[in-house]
């Protein structure tokens, strides 16, 4: 890809960037003058599915960091489930505190007997 000079006037700017596609092409040519490649691994495969490539790169990094690359095919589904759990909750502050809130609620409430549960549920006194 060849990078042209940036427009000097508003008229040149409007002519050059008249669509989202024109903007995208220019930005990609500035960011990746020799074509797209992943900054982490150098792979060019993430151009069409960047989020899939990002998740795969994070999975590889997680396996190398957590298990030092030694994983077993027998336990691969469990590893992938753990990665999926962590990936889906990486930015969720309220979900991660759920267990803590349940524990706090269990500690501050008084125990309920079976008789109380049955009485309240059935309405029998």
Give residue limits of the domains in the chain.
Answer: 1-35, 44-122
Average pLDDT, the chain: 75
User: Which segments in the chain show pLDDT lower than 50?
Assistant: 1
Residue 113: phi, psi to the nearest 5?
Answer: -85, 165
pLDDT, one tens digit per residue, over 39-72 is: 666 766 555 666 677 777 788 888 888 888 788 8
pLDDT, residue 24, reads 78
Instruction: At 75, list the tokens.
Output: 């336990």
- Name, in order, each residue with C-beta under 8 angstroms of 38's C-beta and a sequence gap of 6 or more: 44, 45, 46, 53, 57
Report if pTM > 0.95.
no
């Amino acid at each position: 890809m060849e990078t042209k000079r940036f427009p000097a006037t508003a008229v040149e700017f409007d002519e050059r960037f008249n669509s989202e596609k024109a903007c995208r092409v220019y930005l990609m040519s500035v960011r990746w003058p020799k074509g797209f490649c992943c900054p982490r691994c150098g792979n060019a495969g993430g151009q069409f599915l960047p989020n899939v490539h990002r998740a795969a790169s994070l999975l590889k990094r997680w396996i190398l960091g957590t298990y030092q690359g030694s994983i077993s095919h027998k336990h691969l589904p469990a590893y992938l489930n753990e990665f999926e759990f962590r990936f889906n909750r990486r930015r969720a502050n309220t979900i991660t505190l759920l267990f803590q809130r349940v524990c706090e609620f269990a500690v501050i409430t008084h125990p309920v007997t079976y008789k109380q549960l049955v009485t309240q549920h059935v309405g029998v006194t």
